[in-house]
Amino acid sequence: MIPVITCFGEILWDVLPTSKQPGGAPMNVAADLRNFGLNAQLISRVGSDDLGKELLAFLAEKQLPLDLVQVGQSHLTGIAKANLSDTNEVTYKIVQPVAWDYIFLEPLLLEAVRQSTLFVYGSLAARSPQTYETLLALLEVAPRKVFDVNLRAPHYERTTVEALLHQADIAKLNEHELVELSAWYSDETDLKQGMNQLRERYQLETLCVTLGEKGAALLDKNGFTQQGGFSVEVEDTIGSGDAFLAAFLYKTLQGQRHNIRSNSPVRPVLMLPHNGALHLHSPRKPFSIKSCERKCFNPLFTESVYLSCEKYPYLASCWLS
């Protein structure tokens, strides 16, 4: 059976200093999964305004189904103003309330999630009572759940994040989020111990933590794995964590364990050389990490090029086997 991945939550416009780009973590992940050739779909809501129509056209261009994206008359399409002053850590001012704060539960959504292989959700969509209520109902029928923590102050509360963690089978977060969550119940500062405590506390199958320029770490039933990164020039990191998650889920669905070795052939699957989250598609010609490491950026941290190994399961370019 062909895997189906359903992503739930915000779709919006990232407003940059000189342009705007389609965004929202669930939409980015779904579009990136499509770039991998997977059957991904998005549950969200846009307004009936011009910005909403443009987003629907973008989804159609990316071959994402539109039947689970609601169109509302009462609220405008979402926007987020991106601050790029720190290229390694983009911050956002996210407008509220907007259309995706009002995703209503429908039988079509329940059936889509029930039939999904993976259900991907984050904390931002839980900021409003209506969308959070819908999310909880969908989590009840989801067979395997992936929580992309994605904390955006001031749009989350501890009780909500903890409730969503308890629902998850797989969780992905960054190092700053790990520090914040760990501080809720301990004074642990060691990466491995912090991940162990988090995984045990919420009974997670798999926990993945991105570490910026230092790489990423993975913890599952097979143990702890960590990989460093390559140093390259970065324009911005918008959507980098989303594409990383897509690469991770792509290999997870193949039933493969993530290992670390070196000198394997890799190929780029998504490039981010410009402002914004989604740009070039997937070239198919393999090439060696030795020939590309100065041109590429590892999606385990702030990414410009996403790579997957031709033979082994990797999160990204430097998870080589």
Distance separating alpha carbons of residues 39 and 55, to the nearest angstrom? 19
Read off the CATH number of the domain in which 275 is found: 3.40.1190.20
In a domain, 240, yes or no: yes
Is 80 inside any structural domain?
yes
State how many domains the chain has.
Answer: 1
Q: Which amino acid is at 58?
A: F
Higher pLDDT, 274 or 42: 42
Judge whether 315 lies within some domain.
no
Q: What is the pLDDT of residue 276?
A: 47
| Radius of gyration over every alpha carbon of the chain, rounded to an integer in angstroms | 18
Residue 214 lies in a domain: yes
- Work out the average pLDDT over 75-99: 82
In a domain, 79, yes or no: yes
**Contact between residue 11 and residue 30 where contact means Cβ atoms under 8 Å apart:** no
**Residue 313: pLDDT over 60:** no
Of 188, 144, 150, 194, the C-alpha closest to 169 is 144
**Domain housing 128:** 4-309
- Cα dihedral 145, 148, 149, 152 sign: negative
Rounded Cα gap, residues 84 and 292, in angstroms: 26
Q: How many residues does the chain have?
A: 321
d(CA 259, CA 319): 6
- Give pLDDT, residue 16: 84
> Is the predicted pLDDT of residue 72 greater than 80, yes or no?
yes
If one compares 247 and 92, the residue with the highest pLDDT of the two is: 247
Instruction: Flag whether 215 is in a domain.
Output: yes
- Is there a contact between 265 and 176 (Cβ–Cβ < 8 Å)? no
Give pLDDT tens digits for 105-130: 999 999 999 999 999 999 999 999 99
Instruction: Locate the DSSP E strands across the chain.
Output: 4-8, 12-15, 20-23, 39-47, 69-72, 78-83, 91-94, 118-122, 145-148, 170-174, 206-210, 216-220, 223-227, 265-271, 287-288, 305-309
CA distances from 222 to 173, 206, 219, 256, 259 (A): 19, 10, 8, 12, 11
- Work out the average pLDDT over 225-233: 75
Q: What pLDDT, on a 0 to 100 scale, did the predictor assign at position 1?
A: 75
In a domain, 318, yes or no: no
Peptide bond into 65 cis (omega under 30): no
C-alpha span between 129 and 131 (Å, rounded):
6
Tens digits of per-residue pLDDT, 233-271? 666 666 788 988 999 999 899 886 554 333 333 333 333
Determine, yes or no, domain membership for 321: no
